[in-house]
Copies of this chain bind each other. A is one copy, B any other.
Amino acid sequence: MKKKPTSRDVAKKAGVSQTTVSLILNNRTDMTFPETTRRKVREAARELNYVPNQFARGLKTNQSRLIGLLLPTISNPYYQTLAQHIEEFAASKGYNILLCNTSRLADREESYISLLKSKSADGVIYTFAPLLPDKVRQVIPADRMVIFGENEQNLGFRTISLDSYKAGEIVAKYLIELGHKRIGFVTSPLSGFSLSRKSRLDGVIAAMKAAGLESGLVVKEGKDEKEINDSSFEIDIGFSLTEELLREHSVTAIIGVNDMVAFGALSHILRTDLRVPEDISVCGFDNIYLSRILKPHITTVDHYIADKARSAVEMIIASVEAEDDPSDRQMDTHDNMNGPMLIKRESTGPAPN
């Protein structure tokens, strides 16, 4: 590890003071330098391969340009895509992403929170409801924290909402319009972590009720969530619950609680005599990239994740920048955001008969 050049080295080489180097390299507009000085400094920096030491800078400024991204797992197309969008937008703004995979384990979550504090992360994006909301509050300033997902329990954190309830309604209404009266809802466990699963189901129930079809809904819920780190678990759940469902009930449509579960359902159905969508319709949620790839293309609900990822990052950056200039302290008025949108594809059609 050869020693790295410091701003003092650059200063010496350029024949100016270290202050001048700092000022010029930070492009400070409130100061003006002769073009020759600027050139000398930049050239010296380039020749020495100088890069400012973020430890030293951070010690002064207390900014890290680091955003912690907490995920239950990255082996899941939904989180993947989310991570990708967040990373891309953050990078475009000069912020970087520290990958924090919690596996939904409280102790991992806790150690990551401490880590983020000690690294003076400028912000934290949760992609699930915190397991330890009180701990988080102690450690992370409220305006540096955003939850990406459901907002139900209202813990007082800022939230980028996906409105899963409405998404559930939309899907159910669509199927009802197509004439479906007996619908199966297949889901990984509703208890515990994922609030969005429950919300989606609630939305479906509401729509069924509104159409007087309550009794036509069959819910099949998966059991334990032990293997949740690998999304193959969700496919398996979709597969086996659908098998069970079709053995016991005659439905004309199946809603998977997300696209992965829906794939599992589809995967079972394709092994039977049933045709999709002639005999049975299938749909999911999330519009993960696989849903426009795997055949038959699956009907699903899009959340405008890219836009929302952008908003999440923007909220944090706004707080960071408000630090210097406390004037524009406008918080989270992100209400005019796109709601969920149905993506109709091959896997759904009119009810048979």
Which residues from chain A sit less than 8 Å from chain B, CB to CB?
A: 1-2, 4, 49, 51-56, 58-59, 62, 64, 69, 73-75, 80-81, 83-84, 87-88, 91, 96-101, 108, 114-115, 117-120, 138-139, 141, 144, 230-232, 235-236, 263, 267, 270-271, 289-290, 292-295, 323
Instruction: Say whether A88 contacts B101, CB under 8 Å.
Output: yes
- Distance A130 CA – B117 CA, assembled complex (angstroms): 32
User: Which residues from B are CB-within-8-Å of A53?
Assistant: 59, 118, 120
B141 touches A2 (CB 8 A): yes
Cα-based distance from A141 to B4 in the complex (angstroms): 11
A235 vs chain B, min Cβ distance (A)? 5
Cα distance A141–B2 when bound, in Å?
A: 8
Q: Which residue of B lies closest to A64 (CB)?
A: B55
Q: B289 and A267: CB pair below 8 A?
A: no
Within 8 Å CB of A62, what residues of B? 1, 55
Cβ-closest chain B residue relative to A270 = B295
For the complex formed, measure the closest distance between the CB of A143 and the CB atoms of chain B, giving whole angstroms: 8
Q: Which residues of B contact A294 (CB under 8 A)?
A: 263, 267, 294
Give bound CA distance, A138 to B1, whole Å: 12
User: Smallest CB-CB separation from A68: which chain B residue?
Assistant: B96
Distance A100 CA – B16 CA, assembled complex (angstroms)? 35
Please determine whether A120 and B232 come into contact, CB atoms closer than 8 angstroms: no
Contact B289 A230 (CB under 8 A): yes
Select from chain B the residue with minimum beta-carbon distance to A74. Answer: B84
The chain B residue sitting closest to A232, CB to CB, is: B293
Partner among B54, B58, B99, B263 whose Cβ is within 8 Å of the Cβ of A99: B99
A235 surroundings in chain B (CB, below 8 A): 293
Contacts of A292 in B (CB 8 A): 232
- Residues in B whose Cβ lies below 8 Å from that of A88: 101
| Inter-chain pairs besides A54-B118, A80-B80, 16 sampled, C-beta below 8 Å | A1-B141, A51-B117, A51-B118, A54-B58, A54-B119, A55-B55, A56-B59, A74-B80, A74-B87, A87-B99, A91-B108, A96-B98, A96-B100, A232-B289, A232-B292, A235-B293
CA distance A16 to B253 in the complex (A): 70
Contact B289 A49 (CB under 8 A): no
| Chain B residue contacts of A144, Cβ below 8 A | 1
Residues of B within 8 A of A84 (CB): 73-75, 101
The 8 lowest CB-CB distance pairs between A and B, nearest first, are: A55-B58, A55-B59, A51-B118, A97-B99, A51-B117, A232-B293, A54-B119, A235-B293
Output the nearest chain B residue to A236 by Cβ-Cβ distance.
B293
Docked pose: A176 CA to B99 CA in angstroms: 44
A81 to B293: give the CA distance in the assembly, Å: 19
Question: Least Cβ distance of A142 to chain B in Å?
Answer: 10
Shortest A34–chain B CB gap in Å is 27
A273 to chain B, nearest CB (A): 16
Partner of A323, one of B1, B74, B293: B1
